Amino acid sequence: PRLTVIDTDPGIDDAIGILLALASPQFTIAGVTTVAGNIGIETTTRNAGRLLAFEDREDIPVFQGASAPLSRTGPEPLNLHGEDGIGGVALPDPAWLPESQHAVEWLANFLLEQPAGAVDVLALGPLTNLARLALERPEAARRIGRMIAMGGAIHEHGNVGPRSEFNLWADPEAAAVVVASGLPLVLIPLDVTRRVRATREFVETLAANVNPMAAMVGSLIESYFEGAANRESRPLHDPCVMLYALAPELFRIEELRLSVDTGNGEAAGALTISPEGSLVQVALGVDGPAALDLLARHLTAI
Cα 30 to Cα 48: distance, rounded to the nearest angstrom: 14
Measured in residues, the chain has a length of 302
- Residues that are catalytic: 237
* 126 lines the binding site for Ca ion (CB under 5 A): no
What element of type H or E holds 49? helix 41-54
User: Do the Cβ atoms of 89 and 215 come closer than 8 Å?
Assistant: no
Interacting stretch for ligand BDR, rule CB under 6 A, among 56-64, 111-119, 163-171, 245-253? Answer: 163-171
Q: Which helix (H) or strand (E) holds 215?
A: helix 212-225
Judged by CB under 6 A, the number of residues near ligand BDR is 14
Contacts with Ca ion, 237-256, as mask; x by CB under 5 A: -x------------------
Contact mark string toward ligand BDR, 252..291, x via CB under 6 A: ----------------------------------------
Span interacting with Ca ion, options 48-56, 122-130, 217-225, 279-287, rule CB under 5 A = 122-130
Rounded to whole angstroms, the Cα distance separating 92 from 169 reads: 31
Given candidates 5, 7, 11, 250, which one binds Ca ion under the rule CB under 5 A? 11
In angstroms, rounded to a whole number, what is the distance separating the alpha carbons of residues 158 and 146? 25
Pairing of strands 119-123, 144-150: parallel
Give the whole-angstrom CA distance, residue 142 versus residue 184.
9
Question: In the complex with Ca ion, which residue's Cβ is closer, 140 or 160?
Answer: 160
Nearer to ligand BDR, 68 or 108 (CB): 68
193 vs 251: CA distance, rounded Å = 11
**Which of 238, 244, 259, 260 forms a contact with ligand BDR (CB under 6 A)?**
238
Near ligand BDR in 8-67, by CB under 6 A = 11, 13-14, 38
User: Checking DSSP bridges between strand 233-235 and strand 197-199, what pairing results, if any?
Assistant: antiparallel
Nearer to Ca ion (CB atom), residue 98 or residue 125: 125
In the bound complex, which residue of the shown chain has the CB atom lying closest to ligand BDR?
A: 166
- H-run or E-run covering 119: strand 119-123
Q: Is residue 131 within a helix (H) or strand (E), and if so which, with residue range?
A: helix 128-136
- Give residues 95-154 in contact with ligand BDR (rule: CB under 6 A): 124-125, 150
User: Given the rule CB under 6 A, which residues bind ligand BDR?
Assistant: 11, 13-14, 38, 80, 124-125, 150, 159, 165-167, 237-238
